[in-house]
Amino acid sequence: MLRFVFYRLLQAIPVLLIVISLTFMLVHSAPGGPFSADKAVPPEVIKALEAQYNLDQPLWQQYISYLGDVLKGDFGPSFKYPGRDVTELIAAGLPATAELAFYAMLVALVIGVSAGVAAAMRPNTAQDYIPMSAAMIGICMPSFLLGPLLVLVFGIYLEWLPVSGWDDMPGDKILPAITLGTGYAAYIARLSRGGMLEVLSQDYIRTARAKGLSEPLIIAKHALRGGLIPVIAFLGPAFAGLLGGSFVVETIFQIPGLGRFYVQAAFNRDYTMILGTTVFFSTLIIVFNLLSDMLAIWLNPKLRQQTRGES
């Protein structure tokens, strides 16, 4: 296991380097610099600004010094918000995004796993078809449609819940969490149904049944552990998806999180901010992929032996 983690971390280094280099090249090859603003700025001011942000140096020199700064966790100053560091902005946006992602994941796991397990217990009955059809609707209902519809119904018509904001009013986190979580709940429902169906047909489940264990006990003690492996493996990619989804959900509900910062930075051509958040997101995604793979291996004895044998 330790070796597996070590190798995966070793692999992460080139991936991150590729991400940084690609993003850096893309951002610097963009037509129109960050200071080509609408207002006519005197050329000497632009020169001074460029000198301040090291833009007058040759590209490779900028690249090397950027790499050095990133290693120290310093993403440089923001072009758009003078006097503020990208690191500072990321730190300001992260708590809201992390909280939103956490609640969304909670929604997704609770609804998804219970629907999937219920469906797998009675395949090809109403108990299977109803949650699985609902899951299909969840997959085909993108967050940018579901969110506004929820706002329309629960925020505007029924006036039960606030339509936007974060930490302003009680209950203003419910709609964003549901909006972001629903799609993943649907995927998780399908995955856990498939995983459970496979496990429930295994010999050791038959043994457990033959011993006279009750069905709920079989599910809880024997089947869930194996049946949820596909779900665990999905958590890593799901996390990456949640970050993307947070772009939309944070825009709809006006949540001051990283996703909204990123979209704004994209519109404002705030290059250092784009560069910094991209590197930051990539690191997060790699870490979460690793964590979900480790969890899947730890839960699955077969894989556990494989990693031991191979590495």
Residues that bind other proteins (CB under 8 A): 11-12, 14-15, 18-19, 22-23, 26-27, 29-31, 136-137, 139-142, 144-145, 148-149, 151-152, 156, 240-241, 243-244, 247-248, 251-252, 262-263, 266-267, 269, 274, 277-278, 281-282, 285-286, 289
Q: How far apart are the first and last CA of the chain?
A: 9
Residue 57 DSSP symbol = S
Nearest CB to other proteins, comparing residues 128 and 222:
128
**Minimum distance, C-beta of residue 262 to other proteins, in the bound complex (Å):** 7
Nearest alpha-carbon partner for 236 in 304, 299, 293 = 293
Neighbours of 31 (CB within 10 A): 5
**Closest approach of other proteins to the CB of residue 212, in Å:** 30
Distance between CA 14 and CA 224 in Å, rounded?
Answer: 36
Closest distance of CB 67 from other proteins, Å: 18
CB 90 within 8 A of CB 258: yes
C-beta closer to other proteins: residue 68 or 142: 142
Shortest reach from residue 32's CB to other proteins, in Å: 10
**C-beta of 110: minimal distance to other proteins in Å?**
24
Distance CA(236)–CA(292), nearest Å, equals 5
Nearest 5°: the CA angle 161, 189, 221 is 115
Q: Measured over all CA atoms, what is the biggest interatomic distance in the chain, rounded to whole angstroms?
A: 85
Closer to other proteins by CB, 150 or 218: give it. 150
Residue 95 or 148 having the CB closest to other proteins:
148
Q: Which CB sits closer to other proteins, 87 or 143? A: 143
Q: Would you say 78 or 289 has its CB closer to other proteins?
A: 289
Q: CA-based angle 77:82:88, to the nearest 5?
A: 50
Q: How far is CA 295 from CA 89, 228, 283, in A?
A: 32, 11, 18
Compute the least distance from the CB of residue 29 to other proteins, in Å. Answer: 7
